[in-house]
Amino acid sequence: MQPQVEIRFTLNHRVVTAAVPPTMALLELVRDRFQLTGAKLGCGEGECGACALLMDGEPVLGCLTPAVDADGREVLTAEGLCGAKGLSPLQQAFVNEGAVQCGYCTPGMEIAAEAVLLEHPTPTVEEIRRGLEGNLCRCTGYVAIVEAVQAAAGGGR
Ligand code: FES
Ligand code: FES
């Protein structure tokens, strides 16, 4: 059995603890131990963004980030973007603009979009596109997603 490392961190606004093997990825930790299944395992190689999470407000790839790195940090998944009243204004903008395209890419897109808005409260189209460039969708496109981020920025989040 692999040695376990005790970690304590904030996950979606709640302090949690876990004993994890040093080789475990953060994505596996949030999905398998905490049943937060929004973030997905897509490529598993850092290429698609489906596994995106926020760590201390910065986007990270859950498939490549060791779970032990979460110790003492604040981790947010797409589920954690929701407020007490349900969807966040950003998530509602995704719905309104038809930017919820599939369950595989959308949680990662929302996390990347949240990171864009944290860094640029009123982002340009270029800043939005740059922020989303690590999140792949090969089936639909990015127009509605960019419009959703613009709408969320315009209406406050
Ligand atoms: S699953 Fe992590 S980048 Fe694709
Ligand atoms: S991967 Fe989700 S809509 Fe293309």
Tens digits of residue pLDDT in 9-34:
999 999 999 999 999 999 999 999 99
- Kindly tell me if the per-residue pLDDT of 155 is higher than 70: no
Question: Which H or E element spans position 59?
Answer: strand 58-61
CATH code of the domain in which 39 resides: 3.10.20.30
Q: Are residues 60 and 111 in the same domain?
A: no
**Closest ligand 1 atom number to CA of residue 44:** 1
Specify the residue for token string 């990171």. Answer: 115
Q: Return d(Cα 97, Cα 74) in angstroms, integer.
A: 29
H helix count then E strand count, the chain: 6, 5
- Kindly tell me if the per-residue pLDDT of 156 is higher than 60: no
Residues with CB under 6 Å of ligand 1 are 41-44, 46-51, 61, 63
Chosen domain end from 80, 106, 139: 80
DSSP state of 76: E
Q: Are residues 15 and 44 in the same domain?
A: yes
- What are the backbone dihedrals phi and psi of residue 142, each rounded to the nearest 5 degrees, phi first? -115, -5
Q: What integer best gives the mean pLDDT of the chain?
A: 95
Angle between helix axes 89-96 and 106-119 (nearest 10 degrees) is 120
- 143 three-class SS: helix
Q: Is 120 exposed, middle or buried (0-12, 13-18, 19+ CB in 10 A)?
A: middle
The predicted-structure confidence for 83-134, as pLDDT tens digits, reads as follows 888 999 999 999 999 999 899 999 999 999 999 999 999 999 999 999 999 9
Q: Are residues 37 and 92 in the same domain?
A: no
Q: What is the pTM of this model?
A: 0.95
Question: Measuring from atom 1 of ligand 2, which residue has the nearest CA?
Answer: 137
Strands (E), 1-123: 5-11, 14-20, 52-55, 58-61, 74-76
Q: Are residues 74 and 86 in the same domain?
A: no
**Closest ligand 2 atom number to CA of residue 106:** 2
- Kindly tell me if the per-residue pLDDT of 157 is higher than 60: no
- Number of structural domains in the chain: 2
Q: Please name which ligand lies nearest the alpha carbon of 142.
A: 2
Q: Are residues 21 and 59 in the same domain?
A: yes
Q: Return d(Cα 91, Cα 36) in angstroms, integer.
A: 17
Chosen domain end from 80, 113, 129: 80
Specify the residue for token string 């905490």. Answer: 34
| CA 60 / ligand 1 centre spacing (Å) | 10
Q: Are residues 94 and 146 in the same domain?
A: yes
Q: Return d(Cα 149, Cα 9) in angstroms, integer.
A: 29
Give the structural domain span for 123.
Answer: 81-155
Chosen domain end from 23, 46, 80: 80
Q: Please name which ligand lies nearest the alpha carbon of 48.
A: 1
pLDDT at position 101 is: 85
